[in-house]
Amino acid sequence: MGRGYYALLHHKAKYKGGWGCTPVRRRRAMLERFWEYISRHFKSAWKSVFFNFKQYCCFFAAIFIIQMLYGMMAISATNNNSVAYQQIVEEYDYHYVIRNLTQGQYNYLEGYKRSQNMGILDKNKQLYVIVDTTERYNQREGKNVYDVYLRFGKEGADAATVQKYYKEFKQFYVDKLASLEPSYAYQDPNQTNFSVENTLLLDYQSRVSGNNATFWIITALLLVLSVFLLMSIYNIRMNQYKFTYGVYMTFGADFKKLFVTAFWEMFVVMIVTFIPSVLVSTLVVWLIYAPSGFSFAFSGWVFFKVFVFSLFVVLAAVFMPMRTTSARQPMSLIITEDNSNLVTSPRKSFNLMGKKFPGNYEMYSLWRFRKYNIQLLTTAIVFCALFICGLYLANIYNTNVNYPRPQFNVTIDPNNTNAAYDYKLSSDIKSVNEEFKDKYGEELSEYGDDFAENFEALTYIEATGNATPVDGDVDFSQSPVTEAKYISSFMLVNKKNIKPFSTGFFVFKQEDAYSKYDDGKGGSYKVTNNALYRAVSEDTSEDLFEFLSQYTVEGDPRQILESKGDTQYIIIGDSISNISKFKFKVGDTIAVSTYEGAVTAVDSNLSGKNLLRKQIQNFKYRFTTLTVCAVIKDIPSGSVPVYMMDDVYESVTGRSAVTTKLNLYTYSADPADSKVFQMSDEQVSFIEDRLRQVIDSDGLSKIGSIPVADTNQLAEKNISSDEHYNELFVAISVLILCISPIIWFFSQSLYYFKREKEFNIIQSMGANGSDIRKIYLLGGVSMAIMSLIVSILLSYIASYLMFYVFNVVVPNFSGEYIRYIFYMPWYALVISVVMSVACGFFSAYIPYKSYFKNRYSLENGGSGVQDDE
C-alpha cells in the first residue's frame, strides 16, 4: 500500500481523537475505542467458549451457583430490613418512653401541645407527639406518676427527621425535665427519678446499619469461598491444558495476554448466567419469605451488586492461575502434557505384565497419582463438609432465636432499705400470673384445659446484679455472681473428677502452697480459677430451683438447704466455656480458696495460669470444703457455676450476697410453630404494666428505685424468626453441595482423557477391553472408598470446629453464653457420604463409557475422538 493510504489513516485517527478535535469529539472517540475494545474481546471470547462448550459447561454451573449464593444473600438483606420495619411498626407507634414523671414534669411535656413553638423549631413543625400516657399511684410518695410515650415528628416522618427531632428533644427537654424534679432525702443527687427508653422503632436505623455491616461481612466470606471454588475449577483446567498454554507462551504470549484471554472467557460465562441466576435467586427467597405474610421487598440494586460481585470473583479466580503459569518456562509446560507434574515415581521397577493385572497396575497408579488424588479428594469433599456446616449454622441460628432470654430486667437499689429481693417480692411478682390468666384465660383454654391451668406468663426469676468491689479485687465482680479470678480465688478439684484431655487446669503441688489438700504426691488435686460463685438464699431458693429445672440436673438441688456445720452442699455445673470438663457425682467434694493476704506482691503483668501460680505461691489462703448435691449438665457457662448458701458465699467471697437485679423470663414458644400459644405484644405490655403496679403498690419503691425495663425479647425473637436465616442457610448449603459433583466430574473426565493414550499403549501390549474396564472400575471403587473415609473425617472436623467456635470463641466477643450442642445430622452425613461415594465411582465410570465409545467409533472409521483445545 502507498503512502497516501497511511496518511489517510493518520488523518482519520487525528480527526477522531487527536489533539486538534473538540472535547466532545475526543470523548466520543474514547467511547468508540472503548466499545471497540470490549466488542472485539467479547466476540472472540464468545466464540472460544461456545466452540469448546464441553470444556466450559462446568464453569457455567459454578458461576451460576456463585451468583445465586450472593444473590440470595443480597435479596434477603434488603428484605430483612423491610420485614424488621413491618414487624416493629406492628408493635410500636411511638419512638420514646419517659417513665415515672411527676405531675410537674408531665405538665411541662403536655404544655408543648398548647404552644407548639418553644423557641426550638418553626411554629408549623411538630417536634413530638404524646401518643399515650399511663398514670400510676406511687404509694410511697402518695402521688401519681406518669409514663409518657412519644413519637418524634408527624406520623410517617422519615428516619433522618426522626433522628433530628430526637437529638433536639434530648438537648433541650431532658435537662429541663431533670431540673423540675423534687428532691428526696433518700435520693442520690446524681440520679434522676425518671427513666428513658428508646424503642425498636427509634433504633431502627441503627438496626439497618448493623444489618448492613453484617451483610458486608457475609459478602467478604462469600467472596473468599467463591474465589476458592472458581479457582479450584480453573486450576484443574489449567493443569490439564498446560501443553496448550506452553505453546501460546512459545509464540510470545505473556501474563497480560493470558490473563486478558482467560478473563474475557469467564466474563462471557458470567454474563450468560447473570440474569437467570438473579431471577432464580429472587424466586427462592420469595418462596422462603412468603409464609411470613409480609410484603416482599426487592431492590433493583441487587442486579448491580451481583454483577460487581461476580466480576470480582472472576478477576480474582483467574489472576493467580495465570500469574503462576506465566512465570513458568514454556517448555516445562509442554513436557507435562501427560500430567507428569501429578505423577510420583514409585521408585521401583517391576514386570508390568508379570504381575496380577490389572489389579496391581491400578494400585501402583493410585500411588503414582497420589498428588492428584489428594488434591481432588480435599477440594471436592470440602464442599460436602461445608454443606454440613451450613446445616449446623441453621441449627445454631434456630437455637439462638429460641434461646430463653429475660423479657424484663428489674433493678433494685441496694441503698433503699425498703426494697430487697425476698420471698414477698418474689410472690408479688408471681401474682402477675394469676392476673394474666384472669384476663386471657379464654385464649389459653383454646390450647387445652391442662395448658390453661398450668400456664405461667412469668416462668423464671433469676437473681443477679452488681456488687461493690472491695480491696484486692482484680476487676469488677458481680454478686451473687462472683468470678473467682476477679477476687484472687480458685477452686481445687480432685483429678478423678476431671475428664481426660481437659485443658485449663494445672496440678496443685506442695511447692506452690501447703494445705491439707496436697497429699505430698503432687497430683491428687488440680486447680482452676474459672469458677463463678453464686449465692443461694433460703428465702428465694424456690426461684433458683425453678430456674435450674430447665436444664438437665443430676441429684437433688433442694439438698443444698440442708447445709449445716462442716457439711456445706453446693450445686455445680460440669462445663467451662460450654465444654464439658468435669465428671462430678453426688457426694463428691471440692474446695474453694479465700484470699487472706499477700506474703509478697504478684507481678500485675501476669495473666491466666501464670498469674494463678504466682498467687498460690505468694498469697495466704484459707480453704472451704464443699460437697456436691446436684450437678447441672447443660447450663450455659463461661466459668463453671458453683451455687452455695449465702452465708458460705459471704465467707468465701468476703462480701454480702445482695441481689441488685432480677431477670424475669416470660413464656416462650418457637415463633415458627403456629400450633402452640404465641404471646402477643399486647400481653407482654400487660405483664409490664402489672409488674410496675405491683411494685409501686407494695410501697417498696421510691420513684425510679425499682425500674422495670422491657428488653423487647419477644419482638426481637419474632423479627429473627421472620428473617428466615435458617431456611436461607439450608438453601445455601444445598447450593454448596452441588459444587462437589462439578469438581468431581470435571476433574476426573479430564484426568482420564489424558490417560487414554496410556490405555491404548497397554492394549497394544496385549491387554484386552475387559482389563481396561477393570482399570476404570478399580479407580472408581478406590476413589469411592477414599471419599467415604475423607468425607466422614472432614465433616466431623468441620462440625467440631463450628461447635468450638460458637461455644467458646464467639462468647468472648458477644459476652453472652449460649449452649450449642454438637450437631452432625445423620441425614446430612448420609447425603454427603453417598454423594462423595457416588461421585467418586461414577466420575471414573462415565469416562470409561466415553473412552470405549470413542475407540469403537475410531476402529469403525468414525470420528468420535474429541479434539484437544
CATH number for the domain that contains residue 177 = 3.30.70
Q: Are residues 438 and 550 in the same domain?
A: no
Cis ω for the linkage preceding 23 (within 30 of 0): no
- Assigned domain for 12 exists: yes
Here the cell at position 187 is 435520693
Instruction: Determine the distance from the C-alpha atom of residue 131 to the mean position of all C-alpha atoms in its chain, rounded to a whole number.
Output: 38
Residues with pLDDT less than 50, the chain: 1-2, 4-9, 11, 14-17, 114-124, 185-187, 189, 475-477, 511-513, 702, 704, 862-869
How many whole angstroms separate alpha carbon 748 and alpha carbon 682? 62
* Cα radius of gyration rounded to whole Å, the chain: 36
pLDDT of residue 554: 94
- Assigned domain for 251 exists: yes
Domain boundary among the residues 150, 178, 198 is at 198
Q: Are residues 604 and 553 in the same domain?
A: yes
Q: Are residues 368 and 450 in the same domain?
A: no
* Lookup result for grid cell 473425617: 793
Here the cell at position 591 is 474446695
Q: Are residues 246 and 299 in the same domain?
A: yes
Q: Are residues 555 and 600 in the same domain?
A: yes
Q: At 126, is the secondary structure helix, strand, or coil?
A: coil
pLDDT of residue 425: 86
Q: Are residues 441 and 470 in the same domain?
A: no
| 534 contacts 480 by C-beta, under 8 angstroms | yes
pLDDT of residue 581: 92
Q: How confident is the model over 92-116, as pLDDT tens digits?
A: 888 898 888 888 888 888 876 544 4
pLDDT of residue 783: 80
- Assigned domain for 663 exists: no
Domain boundary among the residues 165, 198, 231 is at 198
How many whole angstroms separate alpha carbon 407 and alpha carbon 687? 10
- Assigned domain for 73 exists: yes
Question: What are residue 607's phi and psi, to 5 degrees?
Answer: -155, 170
Q: Are residues 264 and 144 in the same domain?
A: no
- Assigned domain for 730 exists: yes
Q: Are residues 586 and 636 in the same domain?
A: yes
pLDDT of residue 118: 47
Q: Are residues 60 and 20 in the same domain?
A: no
Strand order in the sheet with 708-710: 458-464, 661-666, 408-411, 708-710
Q: Are residues 357 and 478 in the same domain?
A: no
Here the cell at position 789 is 473415609
How many whole angstroms separate alpha carbon 147 and alpha carbon 501? 56
Tell me how far CA of residue 852 lies from CA of 218, 777, 860, in angstroms: 47, 13, 12
Q: What's the half-sphere exposure (Cβ side, CA atoms, 13 Å) at 561?
A: 11
- Assigned domain for 523 exists: yes
pLDDT of residue 671: 79
| 189 contacts 110 by C-beta, under 8 angstroms | no
Domain boundary among the residues 176, 198, 220 is at 198
| 587 contacts 628 by C-beta, under 8 angstroms | yes
- Assigned domain for 626 exists: yes
Query: What's the total number of domains in the chain?
Result: 6
- Assigned domain for 184 exists: yes
Q: How confident is the model over 445-475, as pLDDT tens digits?
A: 888 888 888 889 999 999 886 555 555 555 4
DSSP state string for 554-587: EE-GGGGGG-BTTB-EEEEESEETTEE-B---TT
pLDDT of residue 193: 72
pLDDT of residue 644: 94
Residues with Cβ within 8 Å of 14's Cβ and at least 6 positions away in sequence, in order, are 20, 21
Q: Are residues 569 and 596 in the same domain?
A: yes
Q: At 18, is the secondary structure helix, strand, or coil?
A: coil
Q: Are residues 702 and 783 in the same domain?
A: no
pLDDT of residue 309: 93
Q: What residues make up the domain containing 147?
A: 93-198
| 844 contacts 664 by C-beta, under 8 angstroms | no
Instruction: Determine the distance from the C-alpha atom of residue 255 to the mean position of all C-alpha atoms in its chain, rounded to a whole number.
Output: 40
pLDDT of residue 573: 94
